Chain A
Amino acid sequence: MTAAGYFGPFGGRFVAETLVPALEELDHARQELLPSPAFQAELHELLRSYVGRPTPLTEAKRLARRIDPDGGAIAELLLKREDLCHTGAHKINNALGQLLLAKAMGKTRIIAETGAGQHGVATATAAALLGLPCEVYQGALDMERQAPNVARMRLLGARVVPVESGSRTLKDAMNEALRDWVTNVRTTYYCVGSAAGPHPYPTLVAELQRIIGDEARAACATRGALPDAVIACVGGGSNAIGIFKAFEGDAGVSLYGVEAAGHGLDTDRHAATLSRGRVGVLHGAKTYVLCDEAGQVEEAHSVSAGLDYPGVGPEHARLRDTGRATYVSATDEEALAAAREVARSEGIVVALETAHAFAAIGAIARREAEARGRPSRILVCLSGRGDKDLDTITAYVGGK
């Protein structure tokens, strides 16, 4: 048998047998229901009237000048404003799409895992809108550092289940969600939050998130030119894959993913799976994984709860190995400094995930400008707003 859902050697479906029929059923729905005109019409109407799409491109002139004071590297810096989506992040595109699918499949209960809580909030929101009961697994540590999102999920009617095992973060929340799903698979829909997990999730999530890239590409085209470089942060990698999709075929557009380097790539406290991981199997997919030589998965670290994950979506693993995308990293310090910089120069408080993408702009712009012999046009996916991270950011920034 040939296995479905591969991106080169990555991806696949490595799960307990109990889940295989549910994944087959979901893949069938993805291929039959998702593209149907009725489904697309309903989804796009919700994305327009409820989510607030299309989100705009904002030109960040002051930030561009501050990153590049002599104007030698950055000609244009454009921000794709997913923070302006209802619930404040790109996660809502995916949650609404998946829950519409779940409802059409006749599922009566929704579960999700969440790190920073943004996917949990998005899922709880979509579940409230569609009248479905929802439970969200979140690492106990993440519940502490993302208290506002825990409160939002509860207000939206979701039950937030603390996960005390392992590192008490996103990886463990995903383990617990999978255990719930194995137990309640006949009635329950598992809304995966990133372009990770067993087939068909990486493909499904990418299909639902590519609207970010499609809108950005169309808006760039009306401005007269495609960007030279597209930058997005990568934990599981859903906002990145969503924006990359639309530019993958444009050979002149460089794609950059920015991972969390935590305390530094040379420490054991980071979440830079593509930079420092090895090929392994985690949460149902073959991909790059932070694990030791015995195959035990290591704990990731990032100041951003949303990037604190030792795996990565399998499509990114292929983009890395084929060289179509380049993956760099930013440390906790660099991301926090970037968050402050964006706030001061553009009046936008970005999520700490997104701050990693901003932290890499300077180096990427210089690299692109050198390669092209002219200042470059940069597009950054501003994946979400930073209200949820205010405590962390202000604790760092303090009176600075």
Chain B
Amino acid sequence: MMHRIDQRFVELRREGRKALCVYLCVGDPSLEASGFLALEAIDAGADILELGVPFSDPTADGPTLARAAQRAIAAGATLERVLEVAARVRARSEAPLVLFTYYNPVFVAGEAKVARLAREAGVDALLVVDLPPEEAGPLRACAAAEGLGVVPLVSPTSHAARIEAIRRASTPLDGAPRAFVYSISMTGVTGASPSDLAAAARDAEGMRRSFDRPVLVGFGIDGGASARLAAGQASGGADGVVVGTALARRIEQAASGDEQRRAVCSFVGELRRALDEPA
């Protein structure tokens, strides 16, 4: 049987559509609210959810997501509680779920335990932002044993030999889904303004050929227009986009829980419509 996350990419390809992956920092504003916001995002057209584990020292994140992480930690979010939220989302939806985290919470809890809990919660893949493939062997083995993927990241600084090394080190293990490759659109932290999303889309196309896997472009996508640019043409470019900071900013600025839900619904809807517009 095909893994849930791979199945989704097959469906998207068949429909000729780009994937919309939405990142939520779980626990911001509260663990309970995050569950509702995740379902709201799926209803509004998100294909894949990245559920973020907040970390005290998020060196790859800009100020917006760093603030979201601080609020989430203050609200009691831990890796295990994020997985409880994932389980609640899974009970209501078949959308692929990716657990996004820094490495320390995974390492301290134990990789085998995290992989097991993630599988039990219905998570499909893990994305560890500060775990290059050279260091990811133990986690990949534990994840594969539970039928989970580990998403590799590629950056604009990844030269050809490096991309080949990443490809070799991240070839899906037996039992793991193929999942996707995360292509970072720029050198920078999350939420900065990207220099050239059209170039990022072209790079993603090359990456898909190298990896023979779907490629999502993330970082610096703040609305429908930039989502379309980053995704590229209907037939080429990337297989989809990841949006995080722009959504976190709307959640931060909303005055009430209702407003947060409306903000998620309308912003994810805007991204969905932009991606589905004919080229």
Contacts and interface: CB of A to CB of B under 8 A. Distances in A.
A225 B187 CA distance: 53
Contacts of B105: 294-296
A296 B56 contact: yes
Contacts, number: 126
A183 B135 CA distance: 23
Given A166-B57, A182-B187, A21 B79 contact: no
A281 B107 contact: yes
A21 B157 contact: yes
Interface stretch (A7-15, A28-36, A141-149, A388-396): A7-15
Interface in B188-215: 188-189, 192
Given A183-B188, A293-B108, A18 B103 contact: no
A286 B107 contact: yes
Given A171-B57, A179-B62, A295 B135 contact: no
Contacts of A296: 55-56, 73, 78, 105
Nearest to A178: B59
A291 B108 contact: yes
A14 B66 contact: no
A17 interface: yes
Interface stretch (B8-16, B87-95, B124-132, B229-237): B124-132
Interface in A1-51: 1-4, 12-22, 24
B135 A12 contact: yes
A254 to B, nearest CB: 32
Contact of A18 (B62, B106, B184): B184
Given A13-B135, A14-B130, A186-B187, A22 B108 contact: no
Contacts of B135: 3, 12-14
A270 to B, nearest CB: 18
Given A18-B187, A166-B56, A182-B189, A294 B108 contact: yes
Given A280-B108, A295-B108, A175 B57 contact: yes
Interface in A49-103: none
B162 interface: yes
B156 A18 contact: yes
Contacts of B155: 16-18, 20
Contacts of B59: 15-16, 175, 178-179, 182, 283
B60 interface: yes
B12 to A, nearest CB: 25
A278 B155 CA distance: 31
B157 A281 contact: no
Nearest to B162: A21
A165 B63 CA distance: 9
B147 to A, nearest CB: 23
Main secondary structure of the interface of A (DSSP, over half): mixed
A184 B103 CA distance: 23
A1 B137 contact: yes
B104 A297 contact: yes
A110 to B, nearest CB: 17
A282 B107 contact: no
B157 A1 contact: no
A295 B55 contact: yes
B174 interface: no
B251 interface: no
A187 to B, nearest CB: 10
B169 A1 contact: yes
A284 interface: yes
Interface in B174-194: 184, 187-189, 192
Contacts of A220: none
A289 interface: yes
A219 interface: no
A337 interface: no
B118 interface: no
B8 to A, nearest CB: 24
A17 B57 contact: no
A20 B60 CA distance: 13
A185 interface: yes
A280 B107 CA distance: 7
B187 A281 contact: no
Given A175-B59, A183-B188, A185-B187, A3 B108 contact: no
B45 interface: no
Given A19-B157, A21-B162, A283-B59, 9 more contacts: A3-B135, A17-B153, A21-B159, A182-B60, A183-B187, A183-B188, A280-B107, A296-B55, A297-B56
14 contacts: A1-B169, A15-B59, A15-B130, A18-B184, A21-B158, A22-B157, A171-B57, A279-B107, A280-B107, A284-B130, A286-B107, A291-B104, A293-B109, A296-B55
Interface of A: 1-4, 12-22, 24, 165-166, 171, 175, 178-179, 182-186, 278-284, 286, 289, 291, 293-297
